[in-house]
Structure 1
Amino acid sequence: MSDPLPASTRMTAYSFVFAVVISATSSAPTPLYHLYQQVFQLSPGTVTLIFGVYAFSLLAALLVFGSLSDHLGRRPLILLSLLLNAAALALFAMADNAGMLIAARIVQGLATGIALPTFGATILDGGSRHGPLINSITAFIGLFLGTLVGGAMVTYVPHPMQAIYLLLLVMTLAGMAGLALMPETTQRRPGAVAALAPNVHVPHQARTALLKVSPVNIACWSLGGLYLSLMPSPVAVTTGIRSPFVGAAVVSTLMLSATASVFLFRALAPRRALLIATSGLMAGVVVSLIGIEQQTVPLLFLGTAIAGLGFGSIFSNVLKIVMPLAEAHQRAGLFAAFLVESYLAFSIPAILAGLAAPVFGLPMTAYVYGAAILALAMISLTAACGDLHVPSGTS
């Protein structure tokens, strides 16, 4: 009897599912940070350091291993990412101090940095016209599920500091077993050693466009870093609601809304979509800050949902605007430069916020953080959306 699904379709489905699992692993600690802070007596600065080291190791793995699957094949790199993910989950489940949490996040970042380009390329190998759209939403879906399911398990399941990690570990081990049944989607080719050298370069013709969208790109990723590192704590402190599930639900709302925005705005010209997205990001931040000031959870959810529409659309449309400006041989270097900017914005402001919180308090830190995001978004509204060149075919 013939296989009911073509090999490429099976591999695309497999890659989507386990790319979601890897992304879910990266956000699973978010509902636990407040608990770690209490049990291990950690400062907010230590919590955001635990969060931030993930971004640095992820970035290192992306830059070094990002194109290696083009030379060695997809399956070896998928297996490596799943092995590292399993190791990270085991470390999380056994963690009893900040050092083990930091080690787990470093290993987790390496796993994610290898997984994202490899699974993304595998999905595109399938040849489906929906490949780019699938890649646009995979990480958001994983972040949404990891945060929400993690929050539910922390709140309602015994052994809250182990349960979510054990669930994800079982899924990761299943992925390793299932990989044996999946086909390879690309041919090996020489040049693997040369591919390990990081290639970070902004072509001359793309510099102006990248400079104009950089403020809102930094604002977007900084907002994501704030939510995934600290947001459950301000929710608990300002509203008095100590349930980890509520804080996790606020964070997951950002990711769910970001996923929706990819579909809602995908048909718009990039300049127009970026204008709407930037305005939405600003409006959402303002409403969220009012929710913190008024200690009102519904306003926090509303502001987060509005900001999420901007978050997802900014990410996708910045790439639509900037990447076509590079020649074929320049795209890897330009994408690497984009990732360096993005992940530094994702981690460094969150770490600084964690250091500032004990001095100024979580609410004041959130206000200043939000004001900085608003300022960056306003700069991009005036600089990028007014007169931004978009190559023909993208507007």
Structure 2
Amino acid sequence: MPAYTAAGHRRSFGFAIAATILLMVAASAPSPFYPRFAEQLGLPPVATTLIFAVYAFTMLAALLLTGAISDAVGRRPVITVGSVLLAVSLVVFWQSDSLTMLLVARSLQGIAAGLLLPALSAMVVDFAPPKQSEAASLWNTIAAMTGLGIGAITAAIVLDLLANPTGAVFGSLTVVFLLIAALVWATPAATRSVRLRVASTISRPAVPAKMRRALKVAVPAIIAGWATNGLFLALGSSVVKIEFGATTHAQQSITIPIFAVSGIIASVLLHRSSARVVSVYGTSALGIGTALNLGALALHSFPAYLVTVAVVGTGFGTAFMGVLKTLMPRVDPAERAAVMAVIYTVSYLAFGVPTIIAGLLVPLISLQGAMMALGAVIGVLCAVATVKRIRIPDLPHPDDLPRRPAKTPKHQSMT
């Protein structure tokens, strides 16, 4: 077993961050291929969005059923199983020649991501530098958004340059995740004071009565942010191709890295601000950016469209962070898993359902019309979330509260 050394912990911290980035690379790499798949297989718009959405639904199911399993059996076994399963899904993507195979590939990828994401996120926390309480949450955010941006633009460039892009992208990622499955065993096992029974690791969504009002205020922000993310990943390339006439895959996919990088920058700049400031900025930027984005789309101004994508990205990058900073101080430690299950249930439903709705609307009102309709709904949700969040006061984090001295029992005599 690897020794518990400071250097070993740093390597493990770096490994977990790198693996999270690569997980998100694998999640976004298929996005530039969607127009290609649709053209080659003659798929309708709803089929393309369904390929995307099935990932969100299977990932949600895996999160709810196995999200805490690495607490019971350890991080390394779960990361190994998830990485091998993800490699299998990438091989299926590589060999796909029908809608059925694409749905199977994306479903397997969602299950694998549902295993890997909580285990890797927990591993980042396990090996985060001491006395840096915010390092883990910040790096988890940065790693996820970095991977999303890198995966999309890299896959797009490969599509433009190589004759066999599917083999290059999905074959390379297959090898990468087989290596991750092996290399994780070079990291030390995180110590755990309590071993949970596997049966107890199934998350049961529940919201304590004391925080239901705060969660109701947060729901519009969660839906708006994750719906925006899903629409950009599922339809962003098609919008740039159809509405702005982009001819290369790199041009078609440029919105995804812009969206991700702007979100990273905003998260880094604001992560020490109060929950109210982060939340209000996030929903305001998301709403205003969406309105400007729709205006640029209507005017067919590609430069303006890219600028507004950056504004929207800063909103998404901070809106969800603001939700967590608002809710977590209100949650008792024993209730965190159940509350997070509720939050992620709403998040991944918002991630998948609007993309399917968009796919159904495209044949009826065009791609631009579908984006306009859903964008209007997102704008309204952002306005509601901003106004309601202003009225909710911040609570201090439990770690920041002064500790009360232990009370002396009344029956104990004073000497």
Give the TM-score band, short-chain normalised: over 0.9
Distance apart, 1:193 and its partner CA: 2.7
Q: Pick from 254, 262, 272 the counterpart of residue 257 of structure 1.
A: 262
Which has the larger displacement, 255-264 or 158-167? 158-167
- Residue in structure 2 matched with residue 82 of structure 1 by the alignment: 83
Distance apart, 1:174 and its partner CA: 2.0
Residue 48 (structure 2) pairs with residue 47 (structure 1): yes
- Residue in structure 2 matched with residue 60 of structure 1 by the alignment: 61
8 Å Cα contact 2:148/2:256 also seen in 1: no
- Residue in structure 2 matched with residue 319 of structure 1 by the alignment: 324
Q: What amino acid maps onto 1:345 in structure 2?
A: A
Residue 364 (structure 2) pairs with residue 359 (structure 1): yes
Q: Pick from 220, 229, 241 the counterpart of residue 215 of structure 1.
A: 220
Residue 302 (structure 2) pairs with residue 301 (structure 1): no
- Residue in structure 2 matched with residue 388 of structure 1 by the alignment: 392
Residue 137 (structure 2) pairs with residue 132 (structure 1): yes
The Cα offsets for residues 310-360 of structure 1, whole Å up to 9 and x where unpaired, read as 101011110010122111111110000000000000100111101111111
5 Å matches for 1:148-227?
148-187=153-192, 190-227=195-232
Distance 1:3 1:282 in 2: 47
Q: What amino acid maps onto 1:392 in structure 2?
A: P
Distance apart, 1:3 and its partner CA: 10
Q: What amino acid maps onto 1:269 in structure 2?
A: S
Which structure has the larger Rg over C-alpha atoms? 2
Provide the identity percentage: 30
The Cα offsets for residues 42-78 of structure 1, whole Å up to 9 and x where unpaired, read as 1110011110010011011111111111110110001
Distance 1:328 1:183 in 2: 26
TM-score, normalising length from structure 1? 0.96
Which has the larger displacement, 53-62 or 132-141? 132-141
Distance 1:117 1:206 in 2: 24
The Cα offsets for residues 284-316 of structure 1, whole Å up to 9 and x where unpaired, read as 112221222122221121011001001010111
Give the unaligned 5+ runs of structure 1: none
Distance apart, 1:197 and its partner CA: 2.7
- Residue in structure 2 matched with residue 280 of structure 1 by the alignment: 285
Distance 2:102 2:174 in 1: 16
Number of aligned residue pairs: 393
Matched residue of 1:375: which SS? helix
8 Å Cα contact 1:284/1:302 also seen in 2: no
Give the unaligned 5+ runs of structure 2: 401-415
Matched residue of 1:271: which SS? helix
TM-score, normalising length from structure 2? 0.91
CA RMSD between the two structures: 1.8
8 Å Cα contact 1:92/1:162 also seen in 2: no
Which has the larger displacement, 278-287 or 301-310? 278-287
Which has the larger displacement, 168-177 or 306-315? 168-177
Which has the larger displacement, 347-356 or 195-204? 195-204
